[in-house]
Structure 1
Amino acid sequence: MEITQFQLDALREVGNIGSGHAATALSTLLQRRIEMSVPKVWAVPFEQVSIIVGQLDTPQATIYVKVEGEAPGKAVFFFPIESAEIVVQALFGMDEPLDLYTNEMAQSALKEVGNILVSSFLISLSQFSGIPLQPSVPALAVDMIGASLDAIFLEEGLLDDTVLFIDTQLSGIPKIKGQFIFLPDDGSLKKLLGAIGV
């Protein structure tokens, strides 16, 4: 599917609105002013997913939700381990990071933060397009990127050949970055872009 510059600009606006919603919700949750920017938006062929997310043997915290509605798909937020640890540390007001691999409290908190981030972008996409999208309960994996992606790709459903990436950077907490990915089911991205009017 060919994506024009005009369509990318529309998707970037979706990302900017979503990041605004996420920053507001995170500011309330973390009791501090959080700002969030979207430096880059890509729409790339499915086979290039692994190139964009980086080394597949790099551990990351991955929050995944299944998206239901008229344009279904899979929504994923990737946190570098360091960023995820800093977020959880800030949430609990602790001086030392918790072990994301074993600490259930840290995992639960990270799921909540990831749910806010993923839902904010989905709400923006839904509002912009007028197409209702409903996220499932989030799942969390703290594992190598390749293993997490394999598990997501094995979920039922035929994916579109184009994937939407939204890079994010948070200020208000140091060194926080992440990446939102929407893996649309076959035909969903075309439907969303058509509804947006581009």
Structure 2
Amino acid sequence: MDLHMTELERDIIREILNIGLARAADSFAVIAQEKVMLEVPNLDLVSGDNILARVRKLQDQHVIIQSDIKGEFNGTTLMFFSGQHVQRLSRVCLRMNTSDSLDIDSMQESLLLEISNIITGALVTQLANILKASIYGAPPTHPHGDMAGALQNLMLHRPMVQPLIFSVITQFSDKDNSVELPLMLFFDRDTFGKILDIIRTYDVMGGQQAGV
């Protein structure tokens, strides 16, 4: 049976993520040495086939950083850094003049891992605080090979996975245009059901609903 969100539930989850990302933006701005804006424009439940198609499209032009969510919730985040991101962050944070190639060295890899750790950590902390859940983010990794293939194996062995997908937009203040930094969040069906149950029975603005 498919899971469904009402528009109100969708708005609540989006607001939770926005709060977490606002805090992540402050930390990210220190690293990037520019004003950074992080937004959550999209929040969708998508089918396994659709997510695999999206990952295949992104993985050829991005460096992928993965972090697992553990504890009472089970999930995974994937961040996709474009060559433009790698070039910009390498110049600002590492004083390296590089091309926009996706071939990164160990220092660049460590930088992307740390940025992913900051952003994912802020999201996980916010979810834990608001939903009163004991969860934490595992140390991020830089997976190699076909990520879409790995996800396909996961979904075949765990057919109850129904990903929750959203995008994060970053924009440096000295740029006239936004550069998309895709961030994908996966929860298994049991975890997403728990989140919806909490939202439906708890006033996220500060207390248990009357009669619950």
TM range (shorter): 0.7 to 0.9
- Whole-angstrom CA distance in 2 between matches of 1:160 and 1:80: 31
Tell me which of 80, 91, 98 is aligned to 2:93: 91
Correspondence 1:192 to 2:186: no
Aligned to 1:167: 167
Structure number with the bigger relative contact order (C-alpha 8 A, sep ≥ 6) is 1
Kindly report which structure 2 residues correspond to 1:31-180, keeping only aligned pairs within 5 A, or say none: 31-53=33-55, 55=57, 58-97=60-99, 100-141=102-143, 147-152=146-151, 154=153, 158=158, 160-172=160-172, 174=175, 175-180=178-183
Gaps of 5+ in 2: 202-212
How far residue 47 of structure 1 moved from its aligned partner, in angstroms, is: 2.9
- Whole-angstrom CA distance in 2 between matches of 1:67 and 1:83: 24
User: Percentage identity across aligned positions?
Assistant: 19
How far residue 90 of structure 1 moved from its aligned partner, in angstroms, is: 2.5
Residue correspondences, number: 195
Q: Is the 8 A contact 2:72 2:135 kept in 1?
A: yes
Which one has the largest radius of gyration?
2
- Whole-angstrom CA distance in 2 between matches of 1:57 and 1:32: 27
- Whole-angstrom CA distance in 1 between matches of 2:94 and 2:80: 21
From the superposition, tell whether residues 102 and 171 of structure 1 become closer, same or farther in structure 2 (CA, over 3 Å): closer
Segment of structure 1 superposing worse, 49-58 or 115-124:
49-58
Q: Aligned-pair RMSD on alpha carbons?
A: 2.6
- Aligned amino acid, residue 20 of structure 1: A
How far residue 136 of structure 1 moved from its aligned partner, in angstroms, is: 0.9
Q: Is the 8 A contact 2:56 2:148 kept in 1?
A: no
TM-score, structure 1 as length reference? 0.83
Structure 1 stretches of 4+ moved >6 Å: none
Gaps of 5+ in 1: none
Q: Is the 8 A contact 2:55 2:148 kept in 1?
A: no
How far residue 108 of structure 1 moved from its aligned partner, in angstroms, is: 0.8
Normalized per residue, the structure richer in strand is: 1
From the superposition, tell whether residues 101 and 186 of structure 1 become closer, same or farther in structure 2 (CA, over 3 Å): same
How far residue 44 of structure 1 moved from its aligned partner, in angstroms, is: 1.7
- Aligned amino acid, residue 164 of structure 1: L
- SS of the residue aligned with 1:187? helix
- Whole-angstrom CA distance in 2 between matches of 1:31 and 1:178: 17
TM-score, structure 2 as length reference? 0.78
